[in-house]
Structure 1
Amino acid sequence: MKKGLFALALGTFTLGIAEFIIEGILTDVAHNMGVSIPQAGHLISIYALGVCAGAFSLIFMHKYRPRNILLFLSSLIALGSAIATISPSYGLLLCARFVQGLPHGALFGTGAIVAVKIADKGKGTKAVAMMCAGMPFANLIGVPLGTFLSHIISWRMPFAMSTVMALVTLYMIYRWVPDVEALPNNGMKAQFRFMRSPAPWLIIAATFLGNGGILCWFSYISPLLQVNGGFSAASISLLMILAGLGMVVGNQVSAFVADRIQPGRFTFYLQLIAALALLATFFLSSNGYISAILMFGICACLFGIGSPEQYHIVKHSEGGEMLGGCCIQAAFNLGNALGAFLGGIPVSIGLGYNYPALMGVPMALAGAICLLIFHKKYE
């Protein structure tokens, strides 16, 4: 891996810890801050709002050189994480989580542009996948480690760990990311011209629907595995490592395969497999081992799809590459929010924990249809 891509991957690794660590330490935070679990859950939502707000701020930064933007964004991650580490109140912790979310989409959008620019010819998707590899590795290594530190020391430790990682990322970007030229500055309106084509909208819709469908199921994966699958509460941490391993495998397979069989076709196949696996989960969740295998497969599909989508949006948003890259992250997070909401509907009316998987099937299939149309018309 090129040093520049490693520095970018370290940035997505740090973002992965910042985004997903809160699920593992939510109870600890709630007890320490004296708030209810649902109130503590707002720390997840506020991060997503920060992602959306920060993503679209890039329309004002496009004239700056990408490396300088990445340095600024890394500084924001460090700032938000440091504030979270020392927050004396729930209100300030909410503010810290919002600041943590601000650089998320912008870093992915800018990083994807840099990754494509420094990639070898015909290896654009692979380069973006290597940049995005930090996110699944964060779920495999960083989040379990942070959760462990929270339980034995303090919930502040994962945020301190994120602060250190952000500072290391800042240094690595400064040392290793090439100072590529800024994108052409053709004015504010020029950044939005790519939206006149259906191609980027198909990619954005596929991301929103596909991720939303999978998150319908994944938001309730812990009770599904325990209540339906019969696993003990103590085994859930190990099963989450299995999910993280699936994410890593999906990302790495995407890095080596997508460029060879056309990214659009590849992502269509993966999205279709994910939809069928969700349907199988609904019917077979009473068998815990089968449910765990399906979890591994769905997580692999989820992170196998993301990198090609990030690559394609950059390719099909000429003049607004940064904005396009950010739109994918906004769509991802909005899909997460909608998926979690829709998945909760059958649970709230007393149906089983396998029903969120069924709720996700039509969304996942709709995402696959969008990818198929994109592949047929624009690839």
Structure 2
Amino acid sequence: MNKALIALALGGLAIGMTEFTMMGILPDIAKDLRIDIPTASNLIALYALGVVVGAPTLVAFTSQYSPQRVLLFLMLLFFVFNGIFAIAPNKILLLTSRFIAGLPHGAFFGVGSVVAARLVKPGKEAQAISMMFTGMTIANLAGVPLGTYVGHHYSWRITYGVISLLGLVTFLAIYFWMPKMEANQDGNIRKQIGYFGRWDAWLMVAVIAIGTGGLFAWISYIAPLVTFVSKLDADRVPIIMVLIGLGMFFGNIVGGKLSDTISPSKAAILSFSAMSICLVVVFFTAHITALAYPMAFITGMISFSIGSPLQMMLINNAKGAETFAAAGGQASFNIGNTLGAYLGAIPISLGYAYNYPSLIGVVMAATGAVLAYTFWVKVVRAKMNV
């Protein structure tokens, strides 16, 4: 196996843990800091804001440097500020370090996606990118449950100290295993930013932000869904999370193979369509306790099969600005995170049960499929016919 891809996967593992572990230990952080949970949730919002801000800006201003140097810089930033977050003595430093720790997220996956595609033979690019995202799926499968356990039973600071060290391990892996590549000589700031002066770039933003919001409308409320609707005991929620992570792991692999086989755009249309159907099934079967387990796995698998196709759509459509486009995709993904959770909360606030956010997810995923089809017709097929 290519060691450079393993280095990228390690980065995915570290980033996945720093983003998603926060959701499991938020009550512990709130208790330790003597603040309420809504106030502590600002740590989630600040990280997402860091991703949105950092993805385009860091990529644009590092485009003249070699990919290895950029990845090393990003993981150094990750290591330092997650470490500061773990030992921060006051709220201001805690909030500031959390925001800065989010800056490398989108840029790492943007640069990493382009590097992964360059490391393999033509026709295997999406599978290489899925290898990088395997790190994030392993984070959801094992890292996040373990980090949540340590944070709950010992200290959340230990959890984030370990996450910081994972960033250092990734830094060393990139230093020793990543081959030296020439910087993109055409990758100047003006050309990178110019990508978002095109209408089809904004269509891709809509595809990702709205379509992937379907996943977050469901997973943001997974704990109350399985406890209040499916009637599982609260101590079964970690099992559900592991099953979701396991599904994401396999879905990521399937998405990569599907993208290389039938084209990224067609794979995206198929994945979003399957996601909307799956969420319909979740809505109607959530009250059946025994189905909570298989549906957690299936929904996780189908939902995460979309990752590699979307990254390849971005890269293929942004000649000369591939890294910037891929990083912008990560920012769009985090917009989908916020949008899905926000819209999913509306039926709950109106007094409906916790399976109703899944219907919001159905609409968002179906819209993503329609937008992906529009992209295929107006952009992909149009270029083929030229």
TM-score interval, smaller chain = over 0.9
Q: For the residues of structure 2 that align with 1:314 and 1:325, how far apart are their CA atoms?
A: 6
Kept after mapping to 1: 8 A contact 2:68/2:180? yes
- Cα-to-partner distance string for 1:80-121 (whole Å, 9 max, x where unaligned): 110111112233221121121010000000001111111112
Moved more, 310-319 or 181-190: 181-190
Q: For the residues of structure 2 that align with 1:298 and 1:209, how far apart are their CA atoms?
A: 17
1:13 and 2:13 are equivalent in the alignment: yes
Kept after mapping to 2: 8 A contact 1:194/1:318? no
- Cα-to-partner distance string for 1:54-94 (whole Å, 9 max, x where unaligned): 11111111111111000000001101110111112233221
Partner of 2:34: 34
SS of the equivalent of 1:292 reads helix
Kept after mapping to 2: 8 A contact 1:282/1:354? yes
Partner of 2:334: 333
SS of the equivalent of 2:305 reads helix
Q: For the residues of structure 1 that align with 2:121 and 2:368, how far apart are their CA atoms?
A: 30
Moved more, 256-265 or 236-245: 256-265
Partner of 2:289: 288
Kept after mapping to 1: 8 A contact 2:60/2:193? no
Q: For the residues of structure 2 that align with 1:196 and 1:100, how far apart are their CA atoms?
A: 28
Q: What is the root-mean-square deviation of aligned Cα atoms in Å?
A: 1.4
Q: CA deviation at 1:188?
A: 3.0
Kept after mapping to 1: 8 A contact 2:187/2:321? no
Partner of 1:235: 236
Q: For the residues of structure 1 that align with 2:64 and 2:215, how far apart are their CA atoms?
A: 36
Kept after mapping to 2: 8 A contact 1:263/1:308? yes
Kept after mapping to 2: 8 A contact 1:195/1:317? no
Change over 3 Å in CA distance of 1:196–1:341 after alignment to 2: same
Q: For the residues of structure 1 that align with 2:99 and 2:212, how far apart are their CA atoms?
A: 22
Q: CA deviation at 1:186?
A: 5.7
Q: CA deviation at 1:200?
A: 3.5
Kept after mapping to 1: 8 A contact 2:259/2:308? no
- Cα-to-partner distance string for 1:23-49 (whole Å, 9 max, x where unaligned): 111111000000001111111000000
SS of the equivalent of 1:209 reads helix
1:82 and 2:112 are equivalent in the alignment: no
Partner of 1:124: 125
Q: CA deviation at 1:283?
A: 1.7
For 2:18, give the aligned amino acid. Answer: A
Q: For the residues of structure 2 that align with 1:244 and 1:169, how far apart are their CA atoms?
A: 21
TM-score, normalised by the number of residues in structure 1 = 0.96
Kept after mapping to 2: 8 A contact 1:254/1:304? yes
Q: CA deviation at 1:218?
A: 1.2
Partner of 1:321: 322
Unaligned runs of 5+ residues in structure 2 are 382-386
Kept after mapping to 2: 8 A contact 1:216/1:343? yes
1:175 and 2:140 are equivalent in the alignment: no
Q: For the residues of structure 1 that align with 2:158 and 2:83, how far apart are their CA atoms?
A: 11
Partner of 2:384: none
Q: CA deviation at 1:197?
A: 4.7
SS of the equivalent of 2:261 reads coil
For 1:155, give the aligned amino acid. Answer: W
Q: For the residues of structure 2 that align with 1:259 and 1:291, how far apart are their CA atoms?
A: 32
- Cα-to-partner distance string for 1:106-155 (whole Å, 9 max, x where unaligned): 00000011111111121111111111111111000111111111122111
Q: For the residues of structure 1 that align with 2:84 and 2:67, how far apart are their CA atoms?
A: 26
Q: For the residues of structure 2 that align with 1:363 and 1:233, how far apart are their CA atoms?
A: 28
Q: For the residues of structure 1 that align with 2:218 and 2:115, how far apart are their CA atoms?
A: 34
- Cα-to-partner distance string for 1:277-335 (whole Å, 9 max, x where unaligned): 11222222111232432232221122211112112211211121221011101110011
TM-score, normalised by the number of residues in structure 2 = 0.95
1:300 and 2:301 are equivalent in the alignment: yes
Number of residues paired by the alignment? 379
- Cα-to-partner distance string for 1:207-262 (whole Å, 9 max, x where unaligned): 11111122112111100100000100011011100110011010111233321122
Partner of 1:25: 25
Kept after mapping to 1: 8 A contact 2:221/2:354? yes
Partner of 1:136: 137
Q: For the residues of structure 1 that align with 2:215 and 2:254, how far apart are their CA atoms?
A: 19
Moved more, 369-378 or 16-25: 369-378
Partner of 2:152: 151
Q: For the residues of structure 1 that align with 2:278 and 2:130, how far apart are their CA atoms?
A: 23
Partner of 1:44: 44
Identity score, percent: 40
Q: For the residues of structure 2 that align with 1:190 and 1:132, how far apart are their CA atoms?
A: 27
Q: For the residues of structure 2 that align with 1:357 and 1:272, how far apart are their CA atoms?
A: 14
Partner of 1:2: 2
Q: For the residues of structure 1 that align with 2:181 and 2:209, how far apart are their CA atoms?
A: 31
Q: For the residues of structure 2 that align with 1:123 and 1:103, how far apart are their CA atoms?
A: 26
Q: For the residues of structure 2 that align with 1:234 and 1:186, how far apart are their CA atoms?
A: 50
Change over 3 Å in CA distance of 1:3–1:38 after alignment to 2: same
